[in-house]
């Protein structure tokens, strides 16, 4: 699936969601989590090069670390109206992949995923 399903701002929000899960447990972005986010991002945007994907992730990570971003629930609600039920399931599945990338699903990571799922369930799809 291409990024045609998501606007550029929603793609940025999506990366921020992935990073929020990875970063939530220990304020650390593990190399395995980084590789997983890059792989998932490139599935959303198949023509994206690795350097381009790294730039997107690095920009989002700087925003997250500086506190210049919304929380996961706000991000999920903001992009939720443009996600079909299938895309919502895909996002939640991706969040699980990111959370487990380091070999461990922490309580905090699971908590963030539950909050995102609940936020996505509170909005209806445009159209």
Does residue 72 come out as left (phi exceeding 0), alpha (psi in the -120 to 50 range) or beta? alpha
Which CATH number is 100's domain given? 1.10.3680.10
Q: Is residue 126 part of a domain?
A: no
Domain-located, residue 91: yes
Q: From first to last of its 127 residues, what are the pLDDT tens digits of the chain?
A: 344 467 888 899 999 999 988 887 677 888 999 999 999 999 999 999 999 999 999 999 898 888 878 889 999 999 888 888 999 999 999 999 999 998 989 899 999 999 999 999 888 765 4
Helix axes 31-44, 85-100, angle to 10 degrees: 160
pTM attached to this predicted model: 0.87
In a domain, 74, yes or no: yes
Domain assignment present for 35: yes
Q: What is the number of structural domains in the chain?
A: 1
On whether residue 67 sits in a domain, the answer given is yes
The answer to whether residues 57 and 41 touch, using CB atoms and an 8 Å cutoff, is: yes
Q: What's the token pair of residue 74?
A: 């706000």
Q: For the chain, percent helix, then strand, then coil, each to nearest 5?
A: 70, 0, 30
Does residue 127 belong to any structural domain of this protein? no
Residue 100 lies in a domain: yes
* Residue 34 forms part of a structural domain: yes
Where in the sequence is the domain holding 36, given as residue range(s)? 3-121
């Amino acid at each position: 699936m291409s990024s045609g399903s998501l606007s550029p701002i929603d793609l940025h929000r999506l990366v921020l969601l992935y990073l929020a899960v990875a970063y939530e447990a220990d304020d650390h972005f593990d190399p395995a989590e980084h590789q997983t986010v890059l792989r998932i991002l490139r599935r959303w945007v198949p023509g994206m090069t690795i350097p381009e994907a790294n730039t997107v992730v690095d920009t989002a990570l700087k925003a997250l670390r500086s506190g210049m971003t919304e929380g996961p629930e706000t991000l999920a609600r903001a992009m939720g109206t443009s996600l079909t039920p299938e895309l919502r399931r895909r996002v939640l599945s991706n969040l699980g992949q990111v959370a487990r990338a380091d070999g461990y699903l922490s309580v905090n990571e699971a908590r963030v995923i539950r909050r995102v799922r609940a936020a996505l369930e509170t909005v209806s799809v445009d159209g």
